[in-house]
Structure 1
C-alpha cells in the first residue's frame, strides 16, 4: 500500500488528484495548499510519496522540495503545467531533489486529469519506490568539476547516455562536467515528454561546455556537441564519417512502452559509431538500455552503469549490470573521470 500527500493551491485540484489516486489503490493520508503546509503534512503523516504543485502562493513547490529533502527526505512527484516558465521551474525542482514530474493536462486547474488517471497513478507508484536517502541537499554541488583529459583522442569519441525517472540531474551532472576538449559526440536518451525535451536541452546548453540541443528530425552531431532525443521519437544514429554522426528520428512503435528508447539508440549506435564508444546507463525504472548495452559490448564499446544504490530508481542500471557486459559501476560524481580515462586510452 502506498501512502500519499497531495499538495496543490487549488482545492478543486486537490480533490480531483486525491480521487484519481484513491481509485488507483493509493491511500491519500493528507493534503496541503502551499509549501509550508506541505512540510507540516510530510512531518505529520510520513508518506511514501508526495505530489507537489510547482507554482503556489507563499512558499512555492521548489522551496518546499528543498525543505522536505533537508528534514524528511521523501519521494516527490512534481505536477507541472507546460509553459516555458513552468518547464524551467520543474527542472529547478528536480535539481532540488524531486524524483520526477507529471504534466498537468489543460493547465493549473483542469477537469481533464481524469483522462490521464492511469498515467498519474503509475507515475506516483513509480516515484514512491525511489530511494531519496542519497539525494544531496540543495546547497551541495551536483556537478563534478570539469576533468581535463591528458590527451585528445585521435578519433572523436561517442558517448551514448540512457536515463529515465530520476535521470535529469544525473544527465546534467555528467554533461556539465564533460570538457569541450574531449571532442565527444554525445547522444542522450532521457525518457521525457516532448514538450519538455527542448527546454531540457536549452537548460543544459546554458551550463555545459558542449553545445547541447534537442535532436531535429534529421541532422548530425559533431565533436563537442550533444543532442537530446526528442520526446515521442526514437533517435537512430545512421552513419559515422569519423567526424560527425548523422542521425534521424523515427516514430516507430515504442520499445519497453517508451519512445524514445535507449535500446533503439544503443543498438543503432553500436552498428555505425566508430570507437572510442561508451554507453552509460543511469537512474530509471525498467529494462531500457540493457539489451542495447549488450550490442555496444559486442561492437567493442565500453559500458558503464550508475551505482544502483546511488540511483533514485535502480531498475535500469541494475538490469544492465545483470547482463554481465558492464565494464564499470560508479556513482555519477565519478562517471566523467571514468569516461575521460577510457577515451584517452584509445
Structure 2
C-alpha cells in the first residue's frame, strides 16, 4: 500500500487531506510541523509527503530542504492562494518539492469538496516522480549568483552568428518550473529569441512565476495578456486557466490571444494549443521544446511544429522528474533531439545558428 505523510499545522486540514487519501486506498501518517515531518520521514519512510507551506517553528520550505538532503522523498506542497503563498511555493520547488496544489481559500469553504479529485491526481503524479533527477546542487549555485548579481550570466557563444527572429515554444508540467528557470537563465542574450512558455499552473500562480523568472534572467519576462505582442529578447508565460494562441507574426513580433475554449487533455492552458498555432502562423525560425510532465500534452504540438519545418526537442528520461509528456512526444517520431535539460540552451543556440538554418 502506498503511504503518504500529511504535514499541516491545521488539524482540520490534516483530517480532510488524510480522509481523502485513506478513502482512496492510501496509508496515511500525519505531522503538525516541519520538524515532526523530518522525523516522521526518517522513521516511517513514506512514499509521498504532502507539505503545508506556512507552519510555526520549522516551516514547509525548511522541512523540504532537510528532507531532500537527508531522505529524498517526492513532496507535494499544499499552498495558499496568496501572493506570499505563491512565492513560498516556488522556494519550496527550488528546494526539491516536485509539485504543488493550491488549497481551498478557506477551511470551511465549499471549495473543500473540490479538493478530493485534484489531490488524488496530484498525489498519483508526484508518486511517480524520480526525485533523483532533481539537481539541487546546481540550483544552489544559481541562487548564489542570483543573490549577488540579480541575474545569472548565460554562457557566451563566441563565433556564432544567429538567425534573425528565432522563436521558441516551451511546454512543461510537473517538475517544470525549476527546469524552465534554468533554461531561461542560460539562454544567451545574443540569441535574441522570442520565447513562449506554457507551464501547467493555476491562474493565481502564473503571474508570480513570470515575476520570478524576470528577476533571474536577462530576458524580459511577462505574464500573457490578450493582444500582447512580444519581440526579440522577450518571454511570455501562459496565463493559468487560459489557452495561449499565436494569432500573428509580423516583422519579427508575435501577437498573442487568450481564450477560455474547452480544456484540452484536461488542462488550460494546453501546450498543444500554443504549439499548433505557432506552427501555423510563425514563419520565422521555430523550435518546440517539451519538458517534464505527466500526460501527452505537447505531443500533437510537437508534430505540428515539425511538419511546419521547425525543430523539435524533448527532455530525456534521466533528467525528467516525470517522463510523461517528453516520452509521448518522442513516441510520435517527430522529435529531432532528446536531451538532458542542461543541454537544451546550447542546443537551441545550435539550432538557430546561421549555418544550421542554411543547411537545415
Q: Distance in 2 between matches of 1:124 and 1:39?
A: 19
Corresponding position of 1:58: 57
Work out whether residues 162 and 349 of structure 2, in 8 Å CA contact, stay in contact via their aligned partners in 1. no
Q: Distance in 1 between matches of 2:274 and 2:217?
A: 23
Number of residue-to-residue matches in the alignment: 345
Work out whether residues 252 and 284 of structure 2, in 8 Å CA contact, stay in contact via their aligned partners in 1. no
Among 180, 183, 191, the residue aligned to 2:200: 191
Q: CA deviation at 1:53?
A: 0.4
RMSD over aligned CA atoms reads 1.7
**Bigger fraction of residues in helix:** 2
Q: CA deviation at 1:110?
A: 5.7
Q: CA deviation at 1:145?
A: 6.0
Residue 119 of structure 1 pairs with residue 118 of structure 2: yes
Q: CA deviation at 1:242?
A: 3.4
Corresponding position of 1:323: 332
Residue 339 of structure 1 pairs with residue 338 of structure 2: no
Q: Which runs of 5+ in 2 are unaligned?
A: 144-151
Work out whether residues 162 and 289 of structure 1, in 8 Å CA contact, stay in contact via their aligned partners in 2. yes
Q: Distance in 1 between matches of 2:113 and 2:40?
A: 25
Corresponding position of 2:37: 38
Work out whether residues 223 and 243 of structure 1, in 8 Å CA contact, stay in contact via their aligned partners in 2. yes
Cα distance per residue 1:57-81 (max 9 Å; x no partner) = 1111111111111111111000010
Question: For structure 1, which segment, 150-159 or 329-338, has the greater mean C-alpha deviation from structure 2 after superposition?
Answer: 150-159
Corresponding position of 1:76: 75
Among 258, 261, 264, the residue aligned to 2:270: 261
Q: Distance in 1 between matches of 2:180 and 2:101?
A: 19
Q: Which runs of 5+ in 1 are unaligned?
A: none
Work out whether residues 103 and 115 of structure 2, in 8 Å CA contact, stay in contact via their aligned partners in 1. no
Q: Distance in 1 between matches of 2:53 and 2:282?
A: 40
Corresponding position of 1:23: 23
Q: CA deviation at 1:328?
A: 1.0
Work out whether residues 163 and 352 of structure 2, in 8 Å CA contact, stay in contact via their aligned partners in 1. no
Work out whether residues 13 and 110 of structure 1, in 8 Å CA contact, stay in contact via their aligned partners in 2. no
- TM-score normalized with structure 1 length: 0.96
Work out whether residues 163 and 281 of structure 1, in 8 Å CA contact, stay in contact via their aligned partners in 2. yes
Q: Distance in 1 between matches of 2:297 and 2:251?
A: 28
Q: CA deviation at 1:301?
A: 0.7
Corresponding position of 1:166: 175
Corresponding position of 1:283: 292
